[in-house]
Amino acid sequence: MPASDTLAATSVVTRIAPSPTGSMHIGNARAALFNWLYARHRGGRFLLRIEDTDRARHSEASVQVIFDSLKWLGLDWDGEPVFQFARADAHRDVVRRLVEGGHAYRCYLSADDAEAAKLAARAAGHALRSPWRDRQPGAAQASAAYVLRFRVPEDGETVIEDIIRGTVRFPNKDLEDLVLLRGDGAPTYNLAVTVDDHDMGVTHVVRGEEHLGNAARQALIYRAMDWPLPAFAHLPLILGSDGGKLSKRHGAQSVGEFADMGYLPEALRNYLARLGWGHGNDEIFSDQQAIAWFDLKDVTRAAARLDAVKLAHVNNHYIRAADDARLTTLVEATLARAGFAGPPDARSRLAACIPLVKDGAKTIVELAELCGFALKSRPLELSAKIKALLIDETRDRLTRLAGALEAQAVWAPLELTAGLRAFADSEGVGLGKIGPALRGALSGDGEAPDLAGALTALGREESLGRIHDALSRSR
């Protein structure tokens, strides 16, 4: 019976177990999301374990990155984080019990001898079987260094029932007698993961497909200890848009990079949920809908591709739906990271501008750029292109337009649009004859949203001031 069936009536416990050796990769973020969704879908618990046994690469800063990334993504974990390094005694105790049960043994092969033995074993058509499997140490080994290895069965196969990949078989002859404890007594990855998952009560191990081979090794330890196996679910890879491995050429790779590029956490959650899983043709859905719909059995086996265009589309949806005050704070933070302080009243200018331009922004960075014209200080430096536009005829028309705007009764988008059209009609020209020069006067370089939006965002006083500045500085 598949492990997922035997655990059907058990309270679900999932986990994410990143190593604190750098940033949180987007693959880890997707794994965390799927674990979180499944736990919440089943009314279970989602746990966090920091796999910090690699002390040479460990850093407290990287631990904080993990915490910050998960919090930014909105993936709340249950209980306190578990730190793997602190559980070394529990790992060693399990090895002691494995040795007592005949499932593990001392191996006195040196590193060089072990490598030679591996090569010889491969040539013979099987994985490493140390000569110390069935040899008792003598006096010569009394003070010799050794590792503790697991005694893999020589015959048969180890079968993994994977929720996503189905039945996966591993001939035992291809599974090496894996090291459980190194020469310095440090636990190895597969031992520590197995013991921690068991002790934490993890019922579903949901992780990337690169760990599928580890599932066989860990299953051997589970069975040797007479522990119930968790359900395994190995997620498909995430590839770049070109089908290649994710790299810098595809843009962001870590959660922090996506945040800095201006993606909203709810947008990234929505998009990542679609990488390998989906609910019909639904592209946009809430967290509540994702939790209600999500099931591991619906995750595909095929690798998913990170599509920047689709992600931008999803992000634009959430920007348009976001609270303007929140967007103002996010744009302020984006500008601060870029080293731009802005005028003293920058926040109020942004607050006025954002509602008028956010529909066209795919990221917070783009939103900041769209608001850039509103943050400039008078008098604006006019670009050569704008100066060239301001010939006598255009200057005269812009002067008359300034007078019409001064008389504008209501300073709001609809009314300003109507006023601009009425002025164009009175001049006997289309808005195309007015727009470029007016936009240039308001922005200095022509980079601004629609005319009524730019005027509304700037306000009456600032708009008229910029127009008069442009007329006086363009001669």
**Is 174 in the same domain as 212?**
no
Nearest CA-CA partner of 159 in 215, 227, 211: 215
Distance CA 252, CA 243 (A): 16
**Is 109 in the same domain as 167?**
yes
Instruction: Write down the residue that tokens 């303007």 correspond to.
Output: 324
pLDDT for res 261 = 94
Distance CA 281, CA 408 (A): 48
- Neighbour count for residue 83 (Cβ, 10 Å): 15
List of the chain residues with pLDDT < 70: 1-10, 247-252, 474-475
Contact 151, 103 (CB under 8 A): yes
What are the structure tokens assigned to 19, written together?
Answer: 């190593």
What are the structure tokens assigned to 160, written together?
Answer: 């993994």
What is the C-alpha radius of gyration for the chain, rounded to an integer number of angstroms?
31
pLDDT for res 443 = 95
Contact 206, 34 (CB under 8 A): yes
**Is 146 in the same domain as 224?**
no
What are the structure tokens assigned to 403, written together?
Answer: 């007078």
**Is 215 in the same domain as 295?**
no
**Is 162 in the same domain as 119?**
yes
**Is 333 in the same domain as 354?**
yes
CB-side neighbour CA atoms (13 Å) of 355: 13
**Is 392 in the same domain as 427?**
yes
**Is 222 in the same domain as 171?**
no
Distance CA 50, CA 19 (A): 6
Instruction: Write down the residue that tokens 């589309």 correspond to.
Output: 313
Tell me the CA distances in angstroms from 204 to 15, 20, 198, 397, one per residue in order: 8, 22, 11, 71
What are the structure tokens assigned to 297, written together?
Answer: 């059995």
Distance CA 438, CA 463 (A): 10
Contact 229, 256 (CB under 8 A): no
Instruction: Write down the residue that tokens 């099987």 correspond to.
Output: 126
Nearest CA-CA partner of 467 in 410, 388, 386, 413: 386
pLDDT for res 9 = 43
| Count of domains observed in the chain | 5
**Is 330 in the same domain as 461?**
no
Distance CA 344, CA 188 (A): 56
Single pTM value for the model: 0.91
Question: Which of 160, 181, 202 is a domain's end point?
Answer: 181
Distance CA 383, CA 444 (A): 6
Question: Which of 333, 348, 375 is a domain's end point?
Answer: 375
Distance CA 314, CA 293 (A): 19
Helix 212-224 / helix 88-100 crossing angle, nearest 10 deg: 60
The CATH number of whichever domain residue 415 belongs to comes to 1.10.10.350
The CATH number of whichever domain residue 260 belongs to comes to 1.10.1160.10
Could you please report the per-residue DSSP string of 344-383? TTHHHHHHHHHHHHGGG-SSHHHHHHHTGGGGPPSSPPPP
**Is 362 in the same domain as 315?**
no
pLDDT for res 251 = 58
Burial class of residue 384 (count of CB atoms within 10 Å of its CB; 0-12, 13-18, 19+): exposed
Nearest CA-CA partner of 189 in 218, 160, 167: 218
The model's pLDDT over 35-58, given as tens digits with 9 standing for 90+, comes to 999 999 999 999 999 999 888 888
**Is 386 in the same domain as 458?**
yes
What are the structure tokens assigned to 282, written together?
Answer: 């639904």
The domain of 473 spans 380-475
Catalytic residue flag (residue 245) = no
Four-residue CA torsion sign, 88, 92, 93, 95: positive
Residues 6+ apart with CB under 8 A from 6: 228
The model's pLDDT over 303-333, given as tens digits with 9 standing for 90+, comes to 999 999 999 999 999 999 999 999 999 999 9
Distance CA 52, CA 18 (A): 9
> Annotated catalytic residue: which of 118, 173, 248, 358?
248
Nearest CA-CA partner of 301 in 170, 167, 157, 159: 167
**Is 307 in the same domain as 332?**
no
